[in-house]
Amino acid sequence: MQKVYFDHNATTAIDKKVLSVMMPFLEAQQGNPTSQHSFGRHARTAIEEAREQVALAIHAHPTEVVFTSGGTEANNMIVHGAAIKNPQSTLVRSNIEHPCVARPMEALTHQGWYQELLKVNHDGVITKEAYQSITADNISLVSVMLANNETGVIQEISDLSDFAKEKKAISHTDAVQAFGKMDVRFDELQIDAMTLSSHKIYGPQGVGALILNKRSDIEPLIYGGGQEKNLRSGTENIAAIIGFGKACELISESLKESSMRSRELQTTLEAHLKTLGAVIFSEKAKRLSNTTFFAFKDIEGSTLLTALDKQGFAIASGSACSSVNKEPSHVLLAMGIDEDLARGALRISFGNQNTINDVTSFIETLKKELQTLKQLTAIAA
């Protein structure tokens, strides 16, 4: 049976070129990067070279790159780090943020901090009016994701930057889904902090980064030996960091071509989906070229997902990190989408290996599975 992977927003397969630069650091004895002997110096040099690769890919300075275990840790780091510097302040986020931003903020509300939400419109976009609705003055952090992991909607980060500067707050964007799918430039975004993750760009799992400018002062999330400028203690995962650096280098080289290819796949897919009666969420908004979030009225998403998986097509029902939650997508509910329709939501996210043939094969299979499900529904009724 043909196996087609359409879930690249969840994770990507590690690139062979990435694996090749990691292997020497997995197979041979490596020194601790804090050690002063030749083994340690070699490890430290490799880490700093990777730091430069990450910085170059997003137009930041290497000193602004803080390596973490992934996007979740980086997001927790900025939320807790900014909050602890300003006790009893207000944390501001959009109501469609990933759980690794939303949940630490919610946890802090039980410890003396406050939270206000930027509400999205029906297309999943944060408007200027949403920022104007925030009433708090003592704000420590404003966090808005650059591109949503479910709908693919791209937010206007200049609005975030302007608002945070006005409130004298740290501005942060979770760019985990955006990086590698669109041109992300830390210097041009005019924000204080940004989160990246390696396994979304064909790098290894278990490594990411918080990009933090020199003006921002936050408390560490993890204390210990003082690694990563005292912000993230713990012996560095050398091989993973090196792989992350190489993945950043490769994704920068292929960005334009991959974006054009995924846009072609997206356009073809959505044209066929609409002929089948699908609702495409955030269709009118500016979106990532690789992401399509859709549903069919009166068709349970989980049932259709399982049927398609049996036919060899791996797709998603929303965010991979919160898929254990059987409730409808919090992103769609925040957009005002009917709960029954939201339960049917499915996401396709293309990657570098997907082809037009994959899309056409998927559509043919989808037609058959929809027909079967509709017949079963009619019989049950």
Active-site annotation, residues: 321
Q: CB-based burial of residue 350 (10 Å sphere; 0-12 exposed, 13-18 middle, 19+ buried)?
A: buried
- Show the CA angle centred on residue 225, arms to residues 72 and 199, nearest 5°: 25
CB 218 within 8 A of CB 231: yes
Residue with tokens 């510097």: 85
Task: Read off the DSSP letter of residue 208.
Answer: E
Name residues whose C-beta falls within 8 Å of residue 247's C-beta, 6 or more positions apart in sequence: 15, 18, 198, 201, 202, 203, 204
Q: Using CA atoms, how far apart are residues 152 and 136, in angstroms rounded to an integer?
A: 29
| Dist. CA 120–CA 325, nearest whole Å | 22
State CA 38 to chain mean position distance.
37
